[in-house]
A and B are shown apart, each in its own frame.
Chain A
Amino acid sequence: MIAPHLPILQVVIPLLAAPICVLLHSGRLAWLLTVAVSWVSFAVSVLLLGQVMDGGPLSYELGGWAPPWGIEYRIDALNALVLFIVSGISAIVLPFARASVEREIESERVYLFYTAYLLCLTGLLGITATGDAFNVFVFLEISSLSSYALISLGRDRRALMAAYQYLILGTIGATFILIGIGLAYMVTGTLNMADLAERLPAVSGNRTVQVSLAFLTVGICLKLALFPLHLWLPNAYAYAPSVVSAFLAATATKVSAYLLLRFLFTIFGVEFSFEAMQLGVILSTLAVLAMFVGSLVAIFQEDVKRMLAYSSIAQIGYIVLGISLVSVDGLTAGIVHLFNHAIIKGGMFLALGCIFFRIGSVQLHDMRGLGRRMPYTMAAFVVGGLGLIGVPLTAGFISKWYLVVAALEAGVWPLAVLVLASSLLAVIYVWRVVEVAYFQPVPDDKAAAKDKATLGEAPLSMLLPAWVLIGASIYFGLDTSFSVGVARAAASSLLGLDLAEIGS
């Protein structure tokens, strides 16, 4: 009945809801619709993931047109997991959004905010679900344009500048991707990913194909914010509204990481990308630099949102490092971290959103004494921070474990040392916040004394979503059968291996 149409429902439901949102013209109703859509999307992604894990990859022909003429949607373990992450984060973030958006965005623009949000969700889900290279570009533009709008809605005037910066760099990235896709089309005459994968090996000596890979890699890495192409990210995350920071930090870069995996492994193939073109060396070098530069810069931030943004740059380094090792363990590490980092960082940005809701700032200086004023929020932030460090019992530990084992297995023990050494930098930036929040006295300025209402915890509708994500980060640190299981299945299929052969 509906089951065979799930792949397209995943994308079409939020797409259709977006114009309805405009027509509703009411912030409250728009929010309700968006929540409903997100939850339905999440349910769809859960069903899809179940189908894929039981019965293998799904293929859906759009409008009944057979590929390669029509557009094909193709869901395997990898993109089912990414769909699950994107829609899951959205489903958790939205209940949080109502109070936060009311506070941060002018009321006459709230319905437009949710419209842009739905489009952004559509774009991210579309990029992930589609099996057509040009379709990727279309959804990439949908998600990018809507996210520029979302970021520019931030209260701070610098949000406009941040959005503009992202617009310029994001457009360059998207253009590179388009050029890359165009060049591949030129040589092979197809846009269907499966067809591309079949035809490309025969022409791998062709200079055009090599250039195509180069354009695609650079373009995707720009969207991924891999060092040194990360310049748009800190401002975008720092000045966007709280909800947008949490949503984008947890999903946008993850979808780009998915694209990188899809193009390098599925479409161009391991042999071409990593043996002929030697991308592994470049990616792992940049990843290590990202780990250290991101964490080091994070240490010196006064704006905690910016600090988390730089931390994200470092964490993207871990994901890419796992990918660059081109082994089942390495890919598992990368994909597991993609999942774990989405949960941890999403939870931490939500906790920051709670803080911003109460004290109107996320400057370190203004967070003095918050450990006493907002104990549950700060506890969530600290537990999330422990996850970033990779303390056992948190999801971050699992990612680090696989990453280091993969590095040892690849015989590059210096990478193992570097991964662990860089996690120590996270201790420093997390503990800066801890010391300020727990050991410094609450500032007794007039503003705080005047407005007694601002003292105390954020409303439950905000605190609960933050704790759901933080709680999940602990759960997935203890029970890894889901996260590691799916990641392993995805990793082995990317490498063209049978999961049963490699064992667990």
Chain B
Amino acid sequence: MSSSAVILFCLATPLIGALLIALSNRRPNQREAITLATAAILFVGVASLIPEVRAGARPELLLGEILPGLSLYFRVEPLGMLFAGVASFLWIVNSVYSIGYMRANLEGHQTRFYVCFAVALASTVGVAFAGNMLTLFIFYEVLTLSTYPLVTHSGKPEAIRAGRTYLGILLSTSIGLLLLAILWTWWAAGTLAFSEGGILAGRVSDGAMAVLLALYMFGIGKAALMPMHRWLPAAMVAPTPVSALLHAVAVVKAGVFTVTKVIVYIFGIDSLSRVADAGWLIYVAGATIVIASLIALRQDNLKRRLAYSTVSQLSYVILAAAILTPLSVAGAALHIAAHAFGKITLFFAAGSIYTAAHKTEVSQLAGIGRRMPWTMTAFTIGTISMIGLPPTAGFVSKWYMLRGAIEADQLFAIAIILISTLLNAAYFLPIVYTAFLNKPAPVDKDDHEHGHEHGEAPLPILLALGVTAAGTVLLFFFADLPLDLALQLAGRSQ
């Protein structure tokens, strides 16, 4: 297959998968086999592009013109390659996990669940491979709409309320701000193509550049820059596999991915660093990191704590991109991958605890490490990666961010990274501590249903979280591939 055929293949595979899943509504085994097969085929397709991109090629695909001068156009560059690779690999793992989780918790509407998941992944690949801002925007919106039924999956009143927040914030930021920024860019620059060095330089004034930056940064609601972050904690009402893959990887990473793309290919690192008024972004991202960590510290609900941790970690990527040095941009790209593996592990563990022990609050977790050693070991590895200690992936990305910040003499950014490391430790380590070292609370005699002796979660769940935890560690030792892609993005070879 030619490389443009491979791109088409990657976009079509999840969509065809979605169709087949819908058709096997009454046959759960067949449906889930199709999900797994689709995920595996997609990953093979995406992975087959890696050697080319690594060698410096940029496969493209033109799918026809939507508006005069604006096409549905795909072009695979290093950052998109990294994002698509991570998302499609984790979809396989997540599908295994979903099967265990959805069956053990007797969730309804499972066909709809798997169909929406496949469509969401197709749009994630679309976002990752998009070659111009219009194409990216189209898939960005499809991603929002296809994940709405997943957020409101249970159909309960609180899910519908959360759905309103989810859709309300994501659609109003994207239509109200992002689309305006895109249209302004199109009108001023006459193109929306992602090009090295940016397309805005010399075409708009510095003041306009600063306003555009604000429209883009707050318009990309999926990046959860405060105050546009509220949808993410709200989305936690979804079943855990959704929170794990979509709201720790695909959707939120689509946000920070778009942020990085816009900074690198629409503004251009060099031209943006010449605009004095663009410096505010570092402070807003820094504030988001610290404030979200402080909120996380006070959450008792495990998934909400993880969600606020995600808000904070996403702003690392924005902060790193906003430092505007090649090394920090490479750090941003690496963190997209590193955080994905670490956070999905944490969510997998949270879902595992919920499935086996029906516990959702941090305060209920005393001594659970003795009953669920595998789950809590994986959780601990995820925690270490969040804090950014070796030997985990989180260390590598933080290392590049710090190097970039030092190179740029960004004392504020350095301080933020150090403070937040401490905060991360403060809200994650107590969980690990109580889980392993505290005695379990005495079983409430009246509570027969939940007080029973439980062991580990079903095997598919353990398998999935084992793989991602191992991945978190392996990314530390074998960081060549992501590092290579990240440095290509930043225009530096190792």
A residues touching B (Cβ–Cβ < 8 Å)?
386, 389-393, 398, 400-401, 404-405, 408-409, 416-417, 420-421, 423-424, 427, 431, 435, 439, 477-481, 484, 504
Interface presence of B65 (CB below 8 A): yes
Inter-chain contacts of B184 with A (CB < 8 A) = 408, 416
Given contacts A391-B145, A431-B167, A480-B66, contact A424 B176 (CB under 8 A): yes
Across the A-B interface, give the 9 residue pairs with the lowest CB-CB distance, nearest first.
A392-B138, A504-B68, A408-B187, A404-B183, A424-B172, A392-B141, A439-B160, A420-B176, A439-B155
B363 nearest CB across to chain A (Å): 32
B142 touches A393 (CB 8 A): yes
Interface presence of B164 (CB below 8 A): yes
B138 touches A393 (CB 8 A): yes
B460 nearest CB across to chain A (Å): 30
Q: A404-B183, A409-B187, A427-B175 are in contact. List 16 more A-B contacts (CB 8 A).
A: A386-B145, A392-B142, A393-B138, A398-B67, A401-B67, A404-B180, A408-B184, A408-B187, A416-B180, A424-B171, A439-B152, A478-B72, A479-B66, A480-B66, A480-B67, A504-B68
Inter-chain contacts of B134 with A (CB < 8 A) = 392
Interface presence of B186 (CB below 8 A): yes
A-B residue pairs in contact (CB < 8 Å), sample of 9? A392-B142, A404-B179, A417-B180, A420-B175, A420-B180, A424-B172, A431-B167, A480-B67, A504-B69
How far apart are the CA atoms of A417 and B187 in the complex, in Å? 15
Question: What is the interface residue range for chain B against chain A?
Answer: 20 to 34
B428 nearest CB across to chain A (Å): 35
CB nearest neighbor in A for B160? A439
From 132 to 152 in chain B, residues with beta carbon under 8 angstroms from any chain A beta carbon are 134, 137-138, 141-142, 145, 152
Contact indicator per residue, chain B 57-88, by CB within 8 Å of chain A (1) or not (0): 00000001111110010000000000000000
Q: Which of B72, B164, B187 lies at the interface centre, i.e. has the most chain A CB atoms within 10 A of its CB? A: B187
A329 nearest CB across to chain B (Å): 10
User: At the interface, is chain A mostly helix, strand, loop or mixed?
Assistant: helix
B155 nearest CB across to chain A (Å): 5
Given contacts A398-B67, A479-B64, contact A427 B180 (CB under 8 A): no
B214 nearest CB across to chain A (Å): 14
A238 nearest CB across to chain B (Å): 27
Inter-chain contacts of A480 with B (CB < 8 A) = 66-67
How far apart are the CA atoms of A386 and B175 in the complex, in Å? 12
Given contacts A392-B141, A393-B142, A409-B187, contact A420 B179 (CB under 8 A): yes
B35 nearest CB across to chain A (Å): 21
A436 nearest CB across to chain B (Å): 10
How far apart are the CA atoms of A83 and B179 in the complex, in Å? 33
How far apart are the CA atoms of A504 and B69 in the complex, in Å? 9
Inter-chain contacts of B137 with A (CB < 8 A) = 392
Inter-chain contacts of B141 with A (CB < 8 A) = 391-393
A427 touches B186 (CB 8 A): no
Q: Which of A398, A424, A477 lies at the interface centre, i.e. has the most chain B CB atoms within 10 A of its CB? A: A424
CB nearest neighbor in A for B177? A420
Inter-chain contacts of A423 with B (CB < 8 A) = 175
B187 nearest CB across to chain A (Å): 5
B183 touches A401 (CB 8 A): yes
A484 touches B67 (CB 8 A): yes
Inter-chain contacts of A417 with B (CB < 8 A) = 180
Partner of B183, one of A393, A416, A424: A416
Inter-chain contacts of A431 with B (CB < 8 A) = 164, 167
A478 touches B145 (CB 8 A): no
How far apart are the CA atoms of A386 and B137 in the complex, in Å? 15
B452 nearest CB across to chain A (Å): 32
B187 touches A405 (CB 8 A): yes
How far apart are the CA atoms of A478 and B72 in the complex, in Å? 9
A394 nearest CB across to chain B (Å): 10
A427 touches B167 (CB 8 A): yes
Partner of A421, one of B152, B155, B176: B176
